[in-house]
Amino acid sequence: MENSWFLISSKLKKIKFNGDTDIRFTEKFAKKFILEFTKKGDKILDPFAGFGTTLFISQRLGRQAIGIEYDKSKYEYIKDKIKAPNQIIHGNSLKLSSYKLPKFDFSITSPPYMRFFDKEDPFANYKKSGSYSKYLKDIQLIYMQIKKVMKKNATIIIEVSNTIGEGRPMTPLAWDIGREISKIFFFEEEIIYCSTEGDHSHVLVFKNK
């Protein structure tokens, strides 16, 4: 990327979904990186598909995306809106190696968040107990499996923020994830996403060298 920061709106389009719809990136965000790092026909992986932004934009731009989503209602939301060869798997990215996946040219996602004092496991939809150290080990385990399905020189992007502590110290989540994933992939650059609404996040760009 030429610039180490960019500014776009973080305003989300309204979607019909019963529940919290804020935890997703914008279509503009996904489009910017998909256009920058892929060409038509390329295969794209989103291991935390959420509301399917990566899949929908990939489909619209003639790419082929596969997403994995743990939450059944989000999986169903996506399933009805995509056509093969795009695919959504209702599953767990901690078991990524057990799914039949092709080799990918590109991966982009935003992971579920955890703060150092939280007690629920984000990788189990906050329904089991967990710890921040287990969370960081799990994200490493997931990306070790992702490495096996990425083509050589593929780009892997993780969008993440350091999280505020509501009276406690901040959790340097972006930096901790950056450190863990740089044990697996070459950490090429960091781009700061600033939104016209006043917030920002870190776009961590890795290469499968």
Ligand X SMILES: C[S@@+](CC[C@H](N)C(=O)[O-])C[C@H]1O[C@@H](n2cnc3c(N)ncnc32)[C@H](O)[C@@H]1O
Contact flag: residue 136 with ligand X (CB under 6 A) = no
Site for ligand X in 144-203 (CB under 6 A): none
Query: In a 3-state reduction of DSSP, which class is residue 91?
Result: coil
Which residue's CB is nearer to ligand X, number 25 or number 106? 25
> Is 51 one of the binding residues for ligand X (CB under 6 A)?
yes
Query: In the complex, what is the shortest distance from the CB of residue 51 to ligand X, in angstroms, rounded to a whole number?
Result: 4
Residue 74 interacts with ligand X (CB under 6 A): yes or no? yes
Least Å distance between CB 143 and ligand X?
12
Residue 209, token pair as written in the block: 């060298």
Q: Which of 68, 101, 191, 203 binds ligand X (CB under 6 A)?
A: 68
Q: Using alpha carbons, select from 83, 85, 84, 14 the residue that is nearest to residue 51.
A: 14
Our finding on whether 121 is near ligand X (CB under 6 A) is no
CA-CA-CA-CA dihedral for 172, 175, 180, 184, to nearest 10 = 160
Which tokens sit at 159?
């969008």
Kindly state the smallest distance separating residue 110's Cβ from ligand X, in Å.
Answer: 4
Q: Which of 58, 86, 87, 110 binds ligand X (CB under 6 A)?
A: 110
Alpha-helical runs (H) found in the chain: 27-37, 53-60, 72-79, 132-149, 173-181
- The residues binding ligand X (CB under 6 A) are 23-25, 48, 50-51, 53, 68-71, 74, 92-94, 109-110, 112, 122-123, 125
